[in-house]
A = this chain, B = another copy of it.
């Protein structure tokens, strides 16, 4: 199985799909093609939350603001999965999650920029064909163009500041429902009925519907992090936050 993920919107992913179908009979499943545009960190977050639910597969990921520059391309193997992506860290948190504390392997994927059909669409011209090849090969090290490397671009999420009296974190992503997902681990809410967010007490609840429609709550999202939410409404609007904003929680 090959999965495809990008920030391409439509219809560019169809060209990637065509390229993959032309080269392998592998089943294709989409992860998403509407990751926030050119936001490597947001894509890295969502991939880490979604990819581990798949059975071992080759995941072709293209969120690539550096397309056409000298940024490299990588193949990563972790937990039985293979990831093919630009070397900008976008698949690193996923690899760490899949490796589950073990080491994961990274190869530099060599390519000749001049030989590609375009300098603006490596999803179609570099990553999709590479993913088909990586999927079909027995072992990644059998590919001549793949060289083991320790020189890859890392990506980590900011650490929250956890204290006795509260926690300070950051909004990592906002989902389509408007839930503002922070980097604060959900366990800090254990046993609490409410927390103070920006000087206002807000109920802590397990489910959105435990609050009246339109009312704010703080909850633990499906990713295990603290989430600022509104039942049947948008948490980002109600809390006045967007990606990258600091979030102060006081007990």
Chain A stretch 115-131: residues in CB contact (< 8 A) with chain B? 117-121, 124-125
Contact A177 B9 (CB under 8 A): yes
Instruction: Give bound CA distance, A224 to B219, whole Å.
Output: 43
Give A65 Cβ to nearest chain B Cβ, in Å: 6
Q: Which of A44-52, A97-105, A144-152, A160-168 contacts B (4 or more CB under 8 A)?
A: A44-52
Contact A9 B222 (CB under 8 A): no
Instruction: Give bound CA distance, A183 to B82, whole Å.
Output: 39
- Chain B residues positioned under 8 Å from A125 (CB to CB): 222
- Chain B residues positioned under 8 Å from A177 (CB to CB): 9, 37
Give A91 Cβ to nearest chain B Cβ, in Å: 15
- A200 sits at the interface (CB 8 A): no
CB-CB nearest in chain B for A57 = B21
Instruction: Give bound CA distance, A51 to B17, whole Å.
Output: 10
With known contacts A54-B22, A55-B22, A177-B9, A208–B120 Cβ distance under 8 A? yes
Contact A232 B38 (CB under 8 A): yes
- A32 sits at the interface (CB 8 A): yes
Contact A14 B28 (CB under 8 A): no
Contact B206 A22 (CB under 8 A): no
Contact B208 A68 (CB under 8 A): yes
Contact B66 A18 (CB under 8 A): no
Q: Give the interface size class of chain A.
A: 35 or more
Q: Which of B1, B121, B232 interacts with A222 by CB under 8 Å?
A: B121
Contact B32 A221 (CB under 8 A): no
Instruction: Give bound CA distance, A19 to B222, whole Å.
Output: 14
Chain A stretch 10-24: residues in CB contact (< 8 A) with chain B? 10-12, 14-15, 17-19, 21-22
The contact string, 1 if C-beta is below 8 Å from chain B, for chain A 190-202, is 0000000000000
- Chain B residues positioned under 8 Å from A31 (CB to CB): 11, 14, 17
Some 26 contacts from A to B, beta carbons below 8 A apart, are: A1-B21, A10-B32, A11-B46, A12-B222, A15-B50, A18-B55, A19-B53, A21-B54, A21-B55, A22-B54, A38-B232, A65-B209, A65-B232, A66-B209, A67-B209, A69-B207, A69-B210, A118-B220, A119-B207, A119-B219, A120-B207, A120-B208, A120-B220, A120-B222, A121-B221, A124-B222
A interface residues, Cβ below 8 angstroms from B = 1, 3, 5, 8-12, 14-15, 17-19, 21-22, 28-35, 37-38, 46, 49-55, 57, 65-69, 117-121, 124-125, 175-177, 206-210, 219-222, 224, 227, 232
